[in-house]
Amino acid sequence: MEQKRVVYFATARATRWDYQYSLVARLERMLERLDLGSRIEKGEYVAIKTHFGSDGAHRIVRPVFLRKIADAVKSVGGKPFVCDTVRINGWDYLEVANQNGINPLSVGCPVILADGLFGHDSVEVPSGPILGSVRIASAIYDAPAMIVVSHCKGHIEAGYGGAIKNLAMGGVAGRHRSGDWRQARGHLHAAGPEASVLRYPELCILCLQCLHVCPVGAIAEVDGTLVVDEKKCWRCGRCERVCPENAIRLQKRGQDEFQAALAEAAKAVLSTFQPGKVVFLNFALEVQPECDCMPMADTPLVQDQGIFGGDDIVAVEQATLDAINGALPLPQSAAADRGVQPGQRVLAETLGIDGQLHVDAAAAIGLGRKEYIVVEI
């Protein structure tokens, strides 16, 4: 029987007034245990893939941690760059990153959009039976090594957003030069090549939340009616998520198919790297119920857990998800609003969507093993 995978864990608790007990110092020791020198050749470019946040969303992985990761890469001779892919217009997204403290001065290396300023720079890679192929952001495709740095939280459709979601959506280009959403990230959400955004005017109260949350300005109010520009629309589903009356809906994949598509896309991204060239750092801190791409940040569902790290994406995800779901739900949070009780799986019960599905799907297609041993740093 194959051995359980090792997952390193650095607790968020700091019980002494000593730098060595800080989470920052524990991350430094975790990076040493991950032996980056055996994974990164001198002079190799190393993508540090993270999420830049959003206007109003501030619970991202903080720059101090990104700096320590970049420093660790440089210490073994690598050339790191911190990256994400276009989620709103590229220039604006780099401004969001800077606003959230992510810039070359703070992280000690270049900060770029892996799919280019306009989200067009990508390489098509075969994926599997659900998606057929995905377009990988070119800077990630071309990088010989990668450190996947994920802020773990809830997610609009996946139920849990960790490393798999970070790669499946964030490793794929935001746009295609043709303007066809089917050649970019919207391919994951939408039900098929002709998927539309449906409007139900009789239900609409013109609260305009959908208009304000749209990242590309595809929704407008015209003579008291919502109008969606189908060519502009990315099929991200944010409009549906915020509508209080179900008056606007995306024709999207069923839950099981979407969760399996996440695993498939993540595998496609990882297929562009040689074995052993990617490590995963999951930050289970400020675990809010929504993705960092939403224009807000709710209070955390559970207390900060810590950082999980390893080179098996499934094991790291399973350990992180187990810790979050097994933690005590916090008062004055969405978990408390939903009446989640100690002993219940916090994310699954709060959001009504089980993120375990895409972790199971990733294991089923050979991305890793769910069985793990935690080694505390």
| Both tokens assigned to 113 | 């959009």
Q: Concatenate the DSSP letters of all residues of 140-163 into one string.
A: HHH-SEEEEEEE-B--TTTS-BSH
Q: Same structural domain for residues 93 and 162? A: yes
Cα dihedral angle (212, 298, 336, 345), rounded to 10 degrees? 100
What digits encode the pLDDT tens for the residues 29-56? 999 999 999 999 999 999 999 999 998 8
155 with 85, same domain? yes
As given in the structure block, the two tokens for residue 56 are 């109003």
Parallel, antiparallel or unpaired: strands 145-151 and 45-49: parallel
Whether residue 352 lies inside any domain: the answer is yes
User: How many domains does the structure of the chain reveal?
Assistant: 2
Q: Is residue 185 part of a domain?
A: no
What residues make up the domain containing 155?
5-180+255-376
Q: Write the CATH number for 104.
A: 3.40.50
* Mean of all residue pLDDT scores within the chain: 92
| Cβ contact 283:231 at 8 Å | no
CATH of the domain at 240: 3.30.70.20
Cα separation of the two ends of the chain: 27
Three-class secondary structure of residue 231 per DSSP: coil
Residue 342 has pLDDT above 80, yes or no: yes
Check if the beta carbon of residue 67 is closer than 8 Å to that of residue 108: yes
> Token digits for 139?
């800077």
Same domain for 69 and 144, yes or no, is: yes
pLDDT in tens, 115-162: 999 989 999 999 999 989 999 999 999 999 999 999 999 988 889 999
* Rounded distance between C-alpha atoms, residue 301 and residue 60, angstroms: 15
Residues 128 and 233 in one domain: no
> Residues 247-271: what's their mean pLDDT?
89
Q: Are residues 260 and 367 in the same domain?
A: yes
